[in-house]
Chains A and B, each alone.
Chain A
């Protein structure tokens, strides 16, 4: 069975500082990994994904994520946080060897303080 953990319910960071939102996953096969962002009263928006190849993935709005197979992690990062990055962030996984369903983590609320 697939599962995703986001160990922090809330992450607070000062504007201009680097940010990290953590994600770990569990799949029986090889994963496809995704990050989505949800702004208040909106649907989710895609940020980036890992399929294969380079472990460092770059995405929208200056975000990037690093796939670490040995630690089964896919942490989201940004070198310099903006107040406008404040939102709810979801990590998601699909096991490429098992079905076509997706599993999302519980979400991490990011607050960037001015």
Chain B
């Protein structure tokens, strides 16, 4: 089954404790992206990647890191989480044809709470 998986689905942590949220897709997609969803703000793009070793900042990259060492994986790293990073996080992937108009497939989400 074609899918985007995220782990963990739920995470409660404390301020300053480094964490990683994993994202994996099995559709051989070039483009991958991380979003956070907050009430009233919709989805905001954190980082995206157009292929292996190619990443770029979205609208809200502060406090986050990403890497793209393999095509299928795109982990999101919070080196020192803070309470304002409490949010619902989504990973997404799509084909990338050079035009950038392909629809994205979204993972189920990771609900992160930072105390």
Contacts and interface: CB of A to CB of B under 8 A. Distances in A.
Interface of A: 4, 6, 9, 32, 34, 36, 42-46, 49, 51, 90, 92, 94, 96, 99-107
Contacts of A100: 31, 48, 50, 56, 96, 100
A32 B101 contact: yes
Interface string B8-49: 000000000000000000000001010100001111110010
A43 B4 CA distance: 10
13 contacts: A43-B90, A43-B92, A44-B90, A46-B104, A90-B42, A94-B101, A96-B99, A100-B50, A100-B96, A102-B104, A104-B45, A105-B42, A107-B42
B99 to A, nearest CB: 7
Interface of B: 4, 31, 33, 35, 40-45, 48, 50, 56, 58-59, 90, 92, 96, 99-101, 103-109
